[in-house]
């Protein structure tokens, strides 16, 4: 005979409402019909079955979760999609004592499910309380919040009263749940940052990523910095090897005609074209600087500048784009003109006051016309 100390004083039950998962409903129309009558009817029958094998149940609460969601793979869309979870029962049952309980496998037999669907509570004095709170997802802000009135009480105090007394404490428990989730996901996020799969923009604009960042800011910042430096050195090495070249597009015109917007749209199109061919590009926005080093190796640099008056009398936007030969072959030819620059201006003018490279000595400098928003050619 199994020792009584192995008998749990409380258990949690989770099971789909498909009759094939219940021994007393599979092949029995009456049992299958009972599964459609709600948590109260199902749990009442389960308690009767447990009492029939000698258990004494003093508390029993249950709810049908019919609004949960899950991610599944779609063969049609070739991606993960969110779909509703099948309806399932969550129940929490408490026994009078260990002597009035039974081993887990015998309890599962009495309930009519496989043993893996019956679980003991976790360690700690709040384990049973945590199971009660999960019935409505009150501690899990990212899950559907069920109303306390949806929980059926078969034995023990009314769940509505328990919820009224414990809700404030349960809501405070959300912080502990979030902290646990963050700890589990931190290393995965850090690795994805180091691989360049997650950017700072994504971190700041995504609630889940920001939760992790707010608790591990120094480590994530170090990962972002490390990836940026590695990308910069790799970009510089590829430049020296001639694997791609730097193209500079100068857009000029009167104030307010949309130069910056055009430059931004042009840069976005370049990034999208690169991404479509397996290249992970980002944009670096700054007044001046080396696009491969100052921009942490980003493939596009977009800056608004004030050009020397001897070159042009208007402000302009400069877009620097590094392209590989393969991507240049995929692009379309553009209409552009060399800016008319006097020889004296070429000697004295540059895109940056800190740069010693004359404007006309840039790898590729063209005056970009408003009608030629296409891929640049070398």
Residue 260 belongs to a domain: yes
pLDDT of 268 over the 80 cut: yes
Q: Among 156, 173, 196, which residue terminates a domain?
A: 156
24 and 135: one domain? yes
pLDDT of 314 over the 80 cut: no
262 and 143: one domain? no
Highest average pLDDT, of 260-264, 285-289, 295-299, comes from 260-264
Q: Among 139, 156, 173, which residue terminates a domain?
A: 156
Residue 286 belongs to a domain: yes
For residue 134, the domain's CATH number is: 3.40.1310.30
141 and 259: one domain? no
Residue 183 belongs to a domain: no
Per the CB < 8 A criterion, the answer to whether 239 and 292 are in contact is yes
Residue 166 belongs to a domain: no
- Per-residue model confidence (pLDDT) at position 370: 38
Distance CA 367, CA 317 (A): 11
Residue 320 belongs to a domain: yes
* Domain containing residue 83: 4-156
Q: Among 140, 156, 172, which residue terminates a domain?
A: 156
- SS3 per residue for the chain: CCCHHHCCCEEEEEEECCHHHCCCCCCCHHHHHHCCCCHHHHHHHHHHHHHHCCCCEEEEEEEEECCCEEEEEECCCCEEEEEECCCEEEEEEEECCCCCCCCHHHHHHHHCCCHHHEECCCCCCCHHHHHHHHCCCCCCCCCCCCCHHHCEEEECCCHHHHHHHHHHHHHHHHHHHHHHHHHHHHHHHHHHHHCCCCCHHHHHHCHHHHHHHHHCHHHHHHHHHHHHHHHHHHHHHHHHHCCCEEEEEEEECCCCCCHHHHHHHHHHHHHHHHHCCCCCCCEEECCCCCCCCCCCCCCEEEEEECCCCCCCCCCEEEEEEEECHHHHHHCCCCCEECCCCCHHHHHHCCCCCCCCCCHHHCCCEEEECCCCCCCCCC
pLDDT of 338 over the 50 cut: no
Number of domains the chain is built from:
2
Least confident of 72-86, 138-152, 253-267, 303-317: 303-317
Residue 37 belongs to a domain: yes
152 and 248: one domain? no
Give tens-digit pLDDT for 162-203. 999 999 999 888 877 777 778 888 899 999 999 888 888 889
Residue 81 belongs to a domain: yes
Q: Beta strand 69-74 with 79-84: parallel, antiparallel or unpaired?
A: antiparallel
Residue 317's pLDDT band (cuts 50, 70, 90) = low
250 and 354: one domain? yes
Residue 378 belongs to a domain: no
Give tens-digit pLDDT for 269-293. 888 887 787 777 777 666 544 444 4
pLDDT of 251 over the 70 cut: yes
- Per-residue model confidence (pLDDT) at position 182: 80
259 and 353: one domain? yes
pTM > 0.75: yes or no = no
51 CB-contact burial (10 Å; exposed 0-12 / middle 13-18 / buried 19+): middle
Distance CA 133, CA 244 (A): 58
134 and 258: one domain? no
């Amino acid at each position: 005979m199994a020792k009584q100390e192995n008998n749990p004083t409380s258990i949690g039950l989770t099971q789909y409402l498909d009759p094939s998962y219940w021994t007393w409903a599979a092949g029995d129309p009456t049992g299958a019909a009972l599964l459609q009558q709600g948590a109260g009817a199902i749990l009442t029958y389960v308690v009767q079955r447990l009492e029939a094998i000698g258990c004494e149940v003093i508390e029993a609460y249950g709810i049908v979760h019919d609004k949960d969601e899950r991610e599944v793979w779609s063969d049609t869309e070739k991606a993960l999609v969110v779909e509703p979870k099948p309806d399932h029962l969550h129940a929490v049952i408490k026994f009078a004592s260990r002597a009035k309980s039974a081993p887990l496998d015998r309890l599962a037999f009495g309930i009519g499910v496989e043993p893996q669907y019956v679980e003991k509570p976790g360690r700690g004095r709040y384990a049973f309380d945590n199971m009660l709170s999960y019935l409505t997802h009150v501690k899990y802000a990212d899950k559907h919040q069920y109303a306390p009135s949806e929980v059926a009480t078969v034995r023990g105090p009314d769940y509505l009263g328990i919820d009224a007394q414990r809700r404030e404490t349960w809501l405070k428990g959300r912080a502990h749940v979030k902290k646990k989730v963050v700890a589990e996901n931190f290393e995965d996020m850090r690795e994805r940052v180091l691989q360049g799969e997650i950017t700072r923009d994504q971190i700041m604009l995504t609630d889940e990523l920001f939760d992790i960042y707010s608790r591990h800011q120094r480590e994530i910042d170090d990962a972002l910095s490390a990836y940026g430096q590695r990308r910069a050195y790799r970009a510089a090495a590829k430049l020296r090897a001639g694997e791609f070249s730097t193209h500079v597009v100068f857009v000029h015109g009167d104030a307010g005609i949309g130069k910056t917007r055009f430059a931004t749209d042009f840069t976005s199109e370049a990034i999208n074209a690169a991404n479509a061919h397996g290249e992970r590009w980002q944009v670096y926005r700054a007044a001046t600087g080396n696009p491969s080093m100052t921009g942490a190796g980003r493939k596009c640099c977009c800056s608004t500048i004030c050009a020397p008056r001897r070159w042009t009398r208007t402000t302009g936007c400069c877009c620097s784009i590094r392209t590989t030969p393969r991507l240049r072959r995929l692009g379309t030819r553009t209409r552009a003109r060399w800016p008319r620059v006097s020889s004296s201006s070429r000697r004295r003018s540059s895109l940056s006051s800190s740069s010693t490279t004359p404007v006309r000595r840039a790898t590729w400098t063209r005056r970009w016309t408003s009608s030629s928003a296409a891929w640049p050619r070398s």
